Amino acid sequence: MDTAQAKTILVVDDDADFVTQVQVQLEAAGYTVLPAESQARAEQILADTQPDLAIVDLMMEHMDGGFVLAYKIKKAAPDTPVILVTAVTSETGFEFDAATEEERSWVKADVVLDKPVRFEQLTREIDRLLKG
């Protein structure tokens, strides 16, 4: 996978197992991974580093932590793709997406994926977003 060459991905989720699993899989695919298990830690990383892409959980230590983090990433670097991962649909029944320009404008994510996320699905979106 040549798109992985020197690409850095920020992975943010308060579920340490999810972060570790995604980190191991992405590193095996050739990416550099910046793991963060909280919105606060992700903001510390972002103060020093500009990742090529971010994978952000919606609900972390604050219910809207993923939205806030996606907003901050897009404000600092509008071209950085953001993948929002969430279990909110299965937990609440509330569905939202980033399929339209209007939805992306308030969600501040390029893609919304429901957990559990299959790695093939994640890498397909990463490849598509990093090529664009």
Number of domains into which the chain is organized: 1
Report pLDDT digits (tens) over 55-73.
999 877 666 778 889 999 9
List the CATH number of the domain containing 126.
Answer: 3.40.50.2300
Instruction: Tell me which residue range forms the domain holding 63.
Output: 2-131
Among candidate residues 102, 103, 42, the one with its CA nearest the CA of residue 72: 42
Average pLDDT over residues 34-54: 96
Q: Distance between CA atoms of 129 and 110, rounded to whole angstroms?
A: 8
The model carries a pTM of: 0.84
Question: Which residue carries 């994926």 as its tokens?
Answer: 113
Percent over 70 (pLDDT), the chain: 78
> How do residues 23-38 score in pLDDT, each as one tens digit?
999 999 999 999 999 9
pLDDT tens digits along 76-106: 999 999 999 988 654 444 555 445 555 445 5
Token code pair at residue 24: 């191991």
Task: Supply the pLDDT for residue 105.
Answer: 53
CB atoms within 10 A of CB 55: 27
